[in-house]
Amino acid sequence: MPEISIDGKTYQVAAGKNLLQVCQGLKLQLPYFCWHPALDSVGSCRQCAVLMFQNDEDTRGRITMACMTGVTDGQRFSIQANSAQKFRQLCIEATMTGHPHDCPVCEEAGECHLQDMTLISGHIERRFQGPKRTHKNQYLGPFINHEMNRCIACYRCVRYYRDYSGGTDLNVFASRNNVFFGRAQEGVLESEFSGNLVEVCPTGVFTDRTYSQHYSRKWDLQSAPAVCVHCSVGCNIFPAERDGILRRVTNRYHPDINGYFLCDRGRFGYDFVNHGKRTEHAWQRNNSKQTTEQLNAQQAQDSLSAYLENTEQLLAIGSSRSSLENNFCLQSLVGAENFYSDNSTELETQLQRLLSHYRDTQPSSDLKSLETSDTVLMIGADVTQSAPRIALSIRQMIKNAGIAKAATIGVAYWSAAEVQNIRQDLKSPLHIISSHSTRLDDVACSIDNSHPQQQLDLINKICSMLSDDNPGAVDSRPDQISITDKATAICQHLLQAEKPFIVTGIHTGQPVELFLASLKLSAILYRRNKHAGLICAVPWVNSLGLALLNDRQQHFDTVLQRLEQRTVKTLVILETDLYRYCPAKKMNQLLADVANIIVLDHLITPTAEQADLLLPSASFAEQHGSWVNYEGRAQNSVKCFSPAQQRRPAYRWLTANTPFHSIVNDLSGIAECLNELPSLYPSQSADFHSARKTVRESGRSALHSYIDIKDIQPNSDPESNYQHSQEGVASNLDDSQSPAYIWSPGWNSSESLNQFQDGESGAIQGAQPGLLLFSKGQTDSSLVTADQSSDSIKGPPAESKNLLRALPYQHIFADEELSSCVTSISQLCPRDTIKINAAQASYLDLVSGQLVTYSFADTAHSLGESIQAQSTAALPLSIDDSIATGVVLLPALLLQRAAMGDDCWLRLAVAGERADG
């Protein structure tokens, strides 16, 4: 390790880093603007200037930029030298000549990196007397506010938006020193990761528009370490609350999952917690009076017990969006034989196969490993829409070939501009096999949009090629192998890669055979290369967790069958809306025959409206809980604030007074992989607590004075070591558990993260990384058998005509249940359409924009019996030539609600005509 000297102190530092990275890891106070740990160095702001000495005899030194200076053994630097301090002070004074100094009205004030760096640099006197430049602000959509006058031209925004996240519609426009960052024309930012501009921008140019609607200063917020519930990635977040309102969500750094960035669904989808249709009180239906009656907590508990006294004809449905603890308590209460998941047969089958793959064949992989891989094959998934953070990691993988090329000529990975110049259009290989275009097509080296059967044929060819006993034949003599050129190219890249990855997903409508073939390919690749990885996006935040509990594989299709057979007297539904999985008319008929419907949920959904007993549950921000993400990583989420009214965690309704830690201990005993689950929850101490609130919280006495002039005692939390007050150890002083918020003296912005990390870009000290349930895999050729894959996908019904294979098109803002009810999110939901390619439309005599109806066919029956009731709503036809012939795309939620499984065929007709003609 190189040994360097900074201001007379000697440090041993990591090789290959630049000086600013080293100073960050050593917690030295060196200001910066343009640098960001995820964006690396360009040296444009000149704010990290230090004095560098030539040798031991040099007493004068020379100014150099720390972010552009690689560390080598024996170097001497000074941060505190007068010349360096004066230079930094003059730089920031020049920067501030164009700044409006509007801190009192700026939403960034109090967590502003510009404020922090101004103080650290020592610039305290304003001498500039000239006029300020002004700009016209733009409307950038429902997520982001734009205040261009505050810009200091650090270029972070465009470097993140264009170079990191792959966006194209935000740019910099300039004439001399008149610089403008925005769109060519105002409008909604197109990137699914635009919200990160809020944290990337060191000033108040880009701010959270949703936060503005219920704004509060950072120091007045109550926060806690939590997990995002909007997809299966399980990104780490800080939800922040004041006065019972969840105000915002910010990123919580996790080195192996989300790193420094979130997707827009995760950042802005929180407002469902404040939704006007939150359940607040327990209600019971009185059929004799045809009314509903409000119950107190004890009455509700008694009613629940009375309903569940008789377990005959009892059925309970767990939830993929609810925590492990909630599902476990419901399963324990009703018995495993009466517990069912909310997944269809096909989804449950694929989830169980994925669990088996992780247990026996190949360990799961994290996003950090994906970002450092060198080849990716993405099969049957548009992860930008289903699990966006995975897509962002793939975009970083694309750059690795350029970084490697730069390294061969001695250019460090952190020198961003040099690496970009060397890389040019060079990309690490990304191959996409899909039925239609994806949001990653712009960085792919090959795209195969084909019918699912053709996709399966291609994957099986690749599997056959990789299974060859002579791998050298693949590399040196590809012309000798009987395989398509496309399969050859993919196979060559997979074999040449040091860390190849397979990326796929599980979702409604996907053929099971295609998913199993993907697992088979991944297993074969892993058998040849132990650095090979698998990333599989699952439908919802706790899909794998629910599958772990549901070892009997009792799924939602069986629920529908039992409801149709009228063998259910009491139905318990945990935090799931059944109307998302079945047509409303059919579900109304099925529920009408159930005597007792018990619903636990935090939103008044169509299912909740059918309840005979409705129990208000807590949202993720109002309860402790564990979720299992796509890689099988169990993570705990800490309650941010106490639920209001009668809301309580579902596990509390289901277990009454059982201590939370007892629930976790019982849960850990149901499966070997969960044995260490209690380690996620630190042992409680009567003498040691961490504060959820900052030491500077204001208005504590006045906040609730409209209720009572006396101070209201803060709520207690006997289930954790976190306090709902300022009492306890501040986060910056407690490295024994995950901090409740990020703040350190002198560092008020999100950049204060570096004061909590274990070295530069290291994990947060004391933070719980989660529990990997499947960290060890065994390779065994016998595990890749014919029963796990197939050579063909089930075709349409016999004697069919003009039937198309129905597949879903997903959308980041339309498919997830909780975020889609948020106003800012719903504004960006696309209009429902039916999509086919132009040749298919011409063959069917359909034109773009025409209203068409559809009817489904079930391959289990003859065509005459299988055509289902025609759709009641006509949808406009959209032409997309990326769609494979023989395929029709429907909105994912519509296809899911049709409950047709993965073997779904339909016929289109002009609205007003019959579809079975």
* CATH code, 644: 3.40.50.740
Cα separation values, 669 from 353, 413, 654, 665, 684, Å: 22, 46, 19, 7, 21
Q: Which of 629, 659, 624, 626 is nearest to 640 (CA)?
A: 624
Asked if residue 72 is part of any domain, the answer here is yes
- Residue pLDDT, tens place only, 28-38: 999 999 999 99
Asked if residue 497 is part of any domain, the answer here is yes
* Block residue for tokens 């209203």: 851
- Residue pLDDT, tens place only, 716-748: 898 999 999 988 888 878 777 889 999 999 999
CB atoms within 10 A of CB 9: 9
Least confident of 283-287, 600-604, 614-618: 283-287
Least confident of 59-73, 458-472, 503-517: 458-472
Asked if residue 133 is part of any domain, the answer here is no
- Measured distance CA(598)–CA(579) in Å, rounded: 15
- Measured distance CA(524)–CA(559) in Å, rounded: 36
User: How high is the pLDDT of residue 475?
Assistant: 44
| The pLDDT of residue 256 is above 80 | yes
- In the chain, the number of structural domains is 4
- Residue pLDDT, tens place only, 663-682: 999 999 999 999 999 999 87
- Measured distance CA(543)–CA(539) in Å, rounded: 6
Select from 538, 563, 581 the last residue of a domain: 538
Residues 351 and 315 in one domain: no
Q: Which of 793, 912, 795, 896 is nearest to 852 (CA)?
A: 912
Residues 331 and 435 in one domain: no
| The pLDDT of residue 867 is above 70 | no
Q: What is the separation of C-alpha 587 from the centre of its chain, rounded to a whole number of angstroms?
A: 31
Select from 519, 538, 557 the last residue of a domain: 538
Q: What would the two tokens of residue 427 be?
A: 């990309």
Report the percent of the chain where pLDDT is more than 90.
79
| The pLDDT of residue 759 is above 70 | yes
Is the Cβ–Cβ distance between 884 and 447 less than 8 Å? no
Q: Considering only the C-alpha atoms of the chain, give the largest distance between any 2 of them, rounded to a whole number of Å.
A: 97
Least confident of 183-197, 342-356, 807-821, 854-868: 854-868
Select from 96, 118, 138 the last residue of a domain: 96
Is the Cβ–Cβ distance between 664 and 634 less than 8 Å? no
DSSP β-ladder status, 533-537 and 500-505: parallel
User: How high is the pLDDT of residue 861?
Assistant: 39
CATH number at residue 28: 3.10.20.740
CATH number at residue 442: 3.40.228.10
DSSP β-ladder status, 245-251 and 236-242: antiparallel
Residues 504 and 573 in one domain: no
User: How high is the pLDDT of residue 469?
Assistant: 52
Asked if residue 761 is part of any domain, the answer here is no
Asked if residue 447 is part of any domain, the answer here is yes
Residues 521 and 373 in one domain: yes
Q: Which amino acid is at 735?
A: D
Residues in the chain, how many? 917
Residues 305 and 441 in one domain: no
Residues 464 and 521 in one domain: yes
| The pLDDT of residue 507 is above 50 | yes
Residues 397 and 461 in one domain: yes
- What string of H, E and C letters represents the secondary structure of 633-699? EEEEECCCCCCCCCCECHHHHHHCCCCHHHHHHHHHCCCHHHCCHHHHCCCCCCCCCEECECCCCCC
Cα separation values, 277 from 584, 818, 870, 873, Å: 20, 12, 32, 26
Asked if residue 623 is part of any domain, the answer here is yes
User: How high is the pLDDT of residue 410?
Assistant: 95
- Measured distance CA(327)–CA(628) in Å, rounded: 12
Asked if residue 905 is part of any domain, the answer here is yes
> Crossing angle for the helix pair 660-668 and 324-334, nearest 10 degrees?
80
Residues 884 and 853 in one domain: yes
- Measured distance CA(615)–CA(385) in Å, rounded: 32
Least confident of 166-170, 257-261, 462-466, 637-641: 462-466
* Mean pLDDT, rounded, of the chain: 91
Is the Cβ–Cβ distance between 653 and 600 less than 8 Å? yes
User: How high is the pLDDT of residue 479?
Assistant: 41
User: How high is the pLDDT of residue 629?
Assistant: 97
pLDDT band at 476 (very low <50, low <70, confident <90, very high): very low
Residues 332 and 377 in one domain: no
Residues 359 and 488 in one domain: yes
| The pLDDT of residue 444 is above 70 | yes
| The pLDDT of residue 869 is above 50 | no
> How far apart, in Å, do the first and last CA atoms of the chain sit?
77
Asked if residue 769 is part of any domain, the answer here is no
Residues 407 and 534 in one domain: yes
Q: Which of 856, 286, 880 is nearest to 612 (CA)?
A: 286
Residues 447 and 305 in one domain: no
- Tell me which H or E stretch contains 22: helix 19-25
> Crossing angle for the helix pair 485-496 and 452-466, nearest 10 degrees?
50
| Containing structural domain, residue 514 | 347-538
pTM (whole model) above 0.85? yes
User: How high is the pLDDT of residue 772?
Assistant: 95
Is the Cβ–Cβ distance between 573 and 598 less than 8 Å? yes
User: How high is the pLDDT of residue 391?
Assistant: 98
